[in-house]
Each structure stands twice: as structure tokens, then as C-alpha cells.
Amino acid sequence: MKHTLAVLVENKPGVLTHISGLISRRAFNIESIAAGYTEEPDMTRITIVVEADDEYELEQVVNQLSKLIDVIKIIDLTGQDRVHRELALIKVTAAPENRAEIVNIVEIFRAHIVDVNKETMIVELTGEEMKIDAMCELLEDYGIREIVRTGRIAIGRGPISAKEV
């Protein structure tokens, strides 16, 4: 089962190395990892999507990560009411005769075209992973040149923030 963890860490050099090193050393199955600044300048938030077979495996991931000195807090957002999103940038072949169709697809998915040239377009899409997968599948017919995805970020609904949990 996939679990989404919000990991609050000190905003210091080397923290990501510690985290990624631990994940690989303990052979945890990580699907994605996304890090960025937060509302507090000395704190970074990392969203980790981890595949765990059972509660013990998940417990190990959480406990081992928690042991890192610079990890302040870990919240499992999996069971909670939450919003999760991923951003993808997709460079798709856009021959003149296909452009209208691509624009149509982009509109249906509420994506944006952020760059156009004679041969290709870049589509920006935000959403849950399945939505991005679905759009990629459609765009494949035209020829996808390259895709870049951020990995999932997630936030709990309601007034309480993760650091207060």
C-alpha cells in the first residue's frame, strides 16, 4: 500500500543527503520524494510517497527517519482527508495539423500550454498522479519528447497544520 508522509526537517545543508542515504541503505521502497521551503524559513517540508507491504514496514520507515537528528516531525497523511498534487511539464510533438487537437486535450484537462515552437509544445499540468498519467497517455499519440514530474506534494484539509498535529 502507498503511504504519503509529510516530513518536516531542519533547513540545513546535508539533510536531504541524510534522508536519501537512509532510504537507500534500509532498502525502503520510495515512489517519490519532493522537497521545498515552507512558511517557516528554517524548515523544509518533504513529501515522501512510500510503498509498504504492512504496518511494520511503514513503522520502520517512520521510526528510522524519525531517528535522524534533523527530522523534526513525520505525519502520515494517508488516512487523512488531504489534498495531493503533482506538477508535470510535458514536451509533446505538435505538428500544425495536430495542434488544435492537442489544445483541446489541454483544455479538457485544465492544463496550460506554456511554450510553443514550430515542432513542439510544452504542456503544464497539475493534478493527482492518475490525471497526469491519463493525459500523458493521450498525448503519446502525438509523440512525447520529454516529461518532467515533481512527485507528489500533499497537505491535510482543515485548519490544523502538520507542525501542529
Partner 1 sequence: MKMTGAQAVIECLKREGVEVVFGYPGGAVLTLYDELYMANFPHILPKHEQGAIHAADGYARATGKVGVCIATSGPGATNLITGIATAYMDSIPVVVITGQVAVSLIGRDSFQEADIRGITTPITKHNYLIKDVKDLPKAMKEAFHIARSGRPGPVLVDISKNVFAAELDFEYPQAISLRGYNPVYEGDPDSVDAVYKELLKAEKPLFFVGGGVNLSDTSEIMRKIIAYTGIPTVTSLMGLGCIAEDDPNYFGMIGMHGTYAGNLSTTETDLLIGLGVRFDDRVTGLLNEFAAKAKIVHFDIDAAEVNKNVRSHIKVIGNLEWSLDQLYRKIKERPDTEWKEQYRPWKEKMVTWMKEKPLVYNKETQRILPQAVIEKISEITRGNAVIVTDVGQHQMWTAQFYQFKQPRSFLTSGGLGTMGYGLPAAMGAQVGTPGKKVICICGDGGFMMNCQELMAVADLNLPVKVIILNNGYLGMVAQWQRTFYNQHYAHSCIKTKTDFVKLSEAMGVPAIRLENKEDLETALEKVIASDSPYLVDIRIPEDEDVLPMVPSGARLDQMIMGG
Nearer to partner 1, 13 or 96 (CB): 13
Check residue 18 for interaction with partner 1 (CB under 8 A): yes
Choosing from 2, 66, 108, 114, the residue that interacts with partner 1 (CB under 8 A) is 66
Check residue 162 for interaction with partner 1 (CB under 8 A): no
| 102 sits in which H/E element | helix 99-108
Nearer to partner 1, 8 or 88 (CB): 8
Burial (CB count within 10 angstroms: exposed 0-12, middle 13-18, buried 19+), residue 164: exposed
The side-by-side arrangement of strands in the sheet containing 71-76 is 29-37, 43-51, 2-10, 71-76
Taking alpha carbons only, the member of 88, 81, 75, 82 closest to residue 129 is: 88
Check residue 73 for interaction with partner 1 (CB under 8 A): yes
Q: How far is the CB of 78 from partner 1 (least distance, A)?
A: 19
Choosing from 2, 29, 37, 59, the residue that interacts with partner 1 (CB under 8 A) is 59
Q: How far lies 135's CA from each of 29, 40, 101, in Å?
A: 26, 35, 13
Check residue 9 for interaction with partner 1 (CB under 8 A): yes
Residues in the chain: 165
Taking alpha carbons only, the member of 73, 62, 84, 74 closest to residue 129 is: 84
Nearer to partner 1, 16 or 147 (CB): 16
Of 61-69, 78-86, 125-133, 154-162: span binding partner 1 (CB under 8 A): 61-69
List interacting residues with partner 1 (CB under 8 A).
9-10, 13-14, 17-18, 21-22, 25, 56, 59-60, 63-64, 66-73
